[in-house]
Structures are given as C-alpha cells and as structure tokens.
Amino acid sequence: MTKLLIFAGSTRQNSFNRRLAHATADLARAAGADVTHLELSTLDIPLYNADLEATGTPPDVMRLKDIMDAHPAWIIVSPEYNGSYTGLLKNTIDWASSPVKGHPVWGGRDPFAGKVVGLLSASPGALGGLRSLSHLNPLLQNLQCWICPKQFALGRAGDAFDEQGALKSDAHRHSAQAVVDQVLWASARLHPV
C-alpha cells in the first residue's frame, strides 16, 4: 500500500483547493493508498528567515520534514495567486527543503529528493489555476522530485463540488483519479516496498 501525502497550498477556510485536496484524498483511499491529508493550517511555520533558522529550526518545520520524508508519493493542490503559486506554498517548500545544521537526519538529507509528485489546482476561473502548476513544476524538479505528467486544473470550481465536498462531475473525478493513479503507479516502480 503506497503512502501518499496530500496537501493544499492554502489555509483559507472555504478554499476550493482545500476542497479538491479532500476530494482527491477520498479518491486515493478508494484506490488503495494509505493517505495522509495534511492541512498546513495545523502547522505553526513562520515566514522563512535565515536569521531565525540560525536560532533553531521551528518544531513544526521538523514535523513537516518527517511527514514529507515518510511518504514516497505526494499530491500538491496549488491555488493560483497572480498567475503563480501562493506565498504559503513557497514558504512551506523553502522551510522543508532547508538543511538543519548538525541534525543527524536533516543535516544533509532533503525530504524532496526522489519523491513522486502529482499536481492539481482549482480556481473559479476557466483555466483552473493552470498557470500555478506551470510555475510549480520547475521548482519541484529543481528539488529532484519526479513530477507526474498528468495534471488536473479544475476550472469554475465554485460549481464543482456537492454538499459533501465530492466532485460532482464524472469528468472531473476521472481527471483527478488519473493523477492519483499515475502517482501510485510511478511510486510503486520508483519506491518498491
């Protein structure tokens, strides 16, 4: 059973991307994955600052690194702000990828290297946040992640979910499921148990 981490780059209460992350987690569980659905709002992660880091890496950053490391496969659901990913998502990535001086595990190891990552986005606009994914791809490749070719940008997200938070459209469910399936397929081959 593949361990799959799913999180959205938003903490907004009514975020379409958080809804899509939740709906995708349900699809992944139904596909047999061992899913951890992480809400970034549960972590106390300050704005990245090297001077702050020099005084000690915050405990929730260490927790984040451990969670990321424990999962060979991830799905990141990225909102689009001004044609790119959010400051929250970039800040999370910057902290998680920074080495921890003198730490026996995180002194030289990177929780990103070799991870299989699927990308989704949601937006009330027609493009569904697609531009955020085009910016997120090279960032994650630079961190040595394997990015799944299949991606899904959910447009007109305000009408896409039912009252239980599931995707209403068969086409949308199939598109999200295609990303889940490719992440699980690739992870099973790159990280055999």
* pTM as predicted: 0.96
Q: Radius of gyration (Cα) for the chain, nearest Å?
A: 16
Task: Specify the DSSP element, H or E, that contains 148.
Answer: strand 146-154
Task: Output the CA torsion sign for 30, 40, 15, 115.
Answer: negative
38-72 residue pLDDT tens: 999 999 999 999 999 999 999 999 999 999 999 99
Tell me, rounded to whole angstroms, the distance of Cα 182 from its chain centroid: 15
Q: How far is CA 190 from CA 37, 64, 103, 182, 183, in A?
A: 22, 22, 27, 12, 10
Residue 193 has pLDDT above 80, yes or no: no
Check residue 20 and give its pLDDT.
98
Task: Output the CA torsion sign for 43, 182, 117, 2.
Answer: positive
Half-sphere exposure of 177 (CA within 13 A, CB side): 13
109-146 residue pLDDT tens: 788 999 999 999 999 999 999 999 999 999 999 999 99
Task: Specify the DSSP element, H or E, that contains 50.
Answer: helix 50-54
| CA separation for the pair 166, 160 (Å, rounded) | 8
- List Cβ neighbours of 62 (8 Å cut-off, separation of 6 or more): 100, 106
Provide the domain limits for residue 182: 3-190
Domain of 142: which CATH number?
3.40.50.360
Tokens representing 42 are: 């549960």
Counting the structural domains of the chain, the total is 1
Give the total residue count for the chain: 193
Helix axes 87-97, 130-142, angle to 10 degrees: 10
- List Cβ neighbours of 91 (8 Å cut-off, separation of 6 or more): 45, 47, 48
